[in-house]
Structure 1
Amino acid sequence: MQYKPVLYMLVSAISFAFMNALVKHLTNFSVYQVVFFRSIGTLVFTSVFIAKNNISFLGNNKKLLIARAFLGVVSITCFFESLKYLPVGTSVSLRYTSPIFAAIFALFLLKEKIKLIQWLLFLLAFLGVLIIKQFGGGLHEIGLLLIIISAITLGFIFVLIRKMGSTENPLVIINYFMLFAFIFGGIMSVSNWQNPTSNELILLLSLGVLGYIGQYYMTKAFQANETNIIAPLKYLEVIVVIIIGAAWFNEIYNVWSLLGVLLIISSLSFNIYVKSKKQK
């Protein structure tokens, strides 16, 4: 395997991991204010590139773009809010169950078939969730509900993006999402706005920058090598974020928690391999 795609994916994983850790660190702010600032940095980058390359801001499939943006706001809001109740590594791991929901939605909406081995892999991933829930030191019920909602909506987002196919520029899809997040976060945070200090403002604004870097290098990695080789590497984020959680927030992950995370990562990584083979 070429080393550059792996390096790109590592940069992406580190960027997303630090972004999530910063969200955890900034839990003194309302989730709406965090969503608002998360959108600013990325929105600036996407808007500039769209304008520079003379791409239509409105896109082609406006209804699907709006639906994707709305669900994206729901997913990211629930995810950020869950970080107030769950260890950051656990929250990220559980959100990565979204491919299970994506496959189920695709089965009914896109008529995509699911092999028996994929169902078995999904069952293993779900077993990992149960292990974390029952033996991982106890999970806050509200946090668990929030992260499951985030994973379900993210799974539906994958289906919407697949339905749009190549008819939409990725920058337009991201721009819609960030614009909705900017408007939603701004409006919802008006009533309980908290003025950040200079240092907090830098951290809040860096959320969008880190999010954009993560998205950019993940895209470069997928462009540089085959999906079935690169896609499993996105789970590096889970490893990085668990290390950050333990070092920064003194989060403790017992053997059962790590076993559950391992089951989720390994089964869904192998599912990517199986799915890519099916498409050839």
Structure 2
Amino acid sequence: MKELHKAILFMMLSAFAFAIMNGLVKYLADFSAYQLVFFRSIGTLLITSSLLMYHKIPMLGNKRWLLILRGVAGAISLLLFFASLKFLPVGTAVTLRYLSPIFAAIFAVIWLKERIKPLQWLFFLLAFAGVLVLKGFDDGLSLIGLSMIILSALFMGLIFVVISKIGKQDHPMVVVNYFMFIGTVLGGLLSIGNWKNPIGVEWIWLGILGIVGFVGQLYMTKAFQIASTNQIAPLKYLEVIFTVMIGAFWFLEIYTWWSLLGILMVMAGLTLNILYKGRNA
């Protein structure tokens, strides 16, 4: 029970760190999504590379093509997510990005030949119905932003399947390091044409992006290492709640009752799927 309490605390810290990162990205909207990906990635890359060298873990890993695929898919997903925040309320964007388990399940059927049980499809349908409620009853929801965040979720779903294929053949820090390296290169190259020089305190905020991103990743990993997935995974959706609160109080974003219902339906559908999978594993 003590280990479970520790895992819950780690997951809460992870969710809060990612929510802070989401708020900072929204706050730094004057910078391009490319530049934000660059600073988010390079900040974490410096930490992960240092840790790999300190612990003498080979950086290149074993499943190199899969590691590259994970890094590319991760960088594209992150780029689309950051870009969508210029069009969507931050809480809505984070909620819709969590549609990724649905895409992961579809990729797993195609690639890993896994089966999805009928009740899981019902839970996925509930989550997609939440998306329709969000868009159908919120005229202010941008179609461009919605398209970006759905694509971001799709690439995130691909990431889950690729990580599953990598398995335990590579250290988790190596997997993250590939992601951050590719994000740094991609974000840096795409920023060349529209680079905006940070001024004063902006350097601090951009630096914090990488730090809170690493903290979120670290404590999420620690939580999954000491508790079962079905006990911990639903707590990941605390990030949505924290982010909605940040959006409401920091950016004075207004969420209609329909928006909140849509968010709740998405979270309920995906959480029920996690619990169902855990019970039937």
| TM-score normalized with structure 1 length | 0.98
**CA shift digits 1:181-224 (9 cap, x unpaired):** 11111111112111111200100111000000001111111122
Residues in 1 aligned to 2:233 and 2:138: alpha-carbon distance in whole angstroms: 27
Match of 2:269 in 1: 267
Where does 1:62-141 land on structure 2 (aligned, <5 Å)? 62-141=64-143
Corresponding residue of 1:249: 251
User: What secondary structure does 1:56 align onto?
Assistant: coil
1:153 corresponds in structure 2 to: 155
Aligned-pair CA distance for 1:6: 1.5
Q: Which range moves more in the overlay, 227-236 or 46-55?
A: 46-55
Give CA deviations for 1:121-164 in whole Å, capped at 9, x if unaligned.
Answer: 00000000100011134311110110011000000110000011
Q: How many residues align?
A: 279
Cα pair 1:75 1:151 within 8 Å, conserved: yes
Corresponding letter in the other structure for 1:77: L
Structure 1 unmatched ranges of 5 or more? none
Q: Distance in 2 between matches of 1:107 and 1:15?
A: 32
Shift of 1:30: 1.0
Give the Cα separation in 2 of the matches to 1:168 and 1:257: 40
Provide the identity percentage: 55
Matches within 5 A, 1:125-204: 125-204=127-206
Instruction: Name the structure 2 match of 1:47.
Output: 49
User: Helix, strand or coil: the match of 1:103?
Assistant: helix
Question: Post-superposition shift, 1:3?
Answer: 2.2
Whole-Å separation in 1 of the counterparts to 2:214 and 2:36: 15
Following the alignment from structure 1 to structure 2, what is the Cα–Cα distance between the partners of residues 266 and 276?
15
Distance of 1:246 and 1:278 partners within structure 2: 38
CA distance in 2, matches of 1:128, 1:259: 7
TM (norm. structure 2) is 0.97
Residue by residue over 1:89-118, the C-alpha shift from the partner in whole angstroms, topping out at 9 and shown as x without a partner, is 000000000000000110110011101100
Q: How far apart in 1 are the matches of 2:212 and 2:70?
A: 21
Gapped regions of structure 2 (runs ≥ 5): none
**Stretch of structure 1 that moved more, 231-240 or 220-229:** 220-229
Determine helix, strand or coil for the equivalent of 1:51. helix
The two structures, once aligned, show a CA RMSD in angstroms of 0.9
CA distance in 1, matches of 2:95, 2:205: 24
Q: Distance in 2 between matches of 1:21 and 1:43?
A: 21
CA distance in 2, matches of 1:63, 1:77: 21
Instruction: Tell me the alpha carbon deviations over residues 46-80 of structure 1, each in whole angstroms, 9 at most, x when there is no partner.
Output: 10111111111111111111111111111000000
Displacement, 1:21? 0.6
User: How far apart are the structure 2 equivalents of 1:102 and 1:278?
Assistant: 18
- Range that drifts further, 115-124 or 40-49: 40-49
The amino acid of 2:110's aligned partner reads F
Tell me if 1:7 matches 2:9.
yes
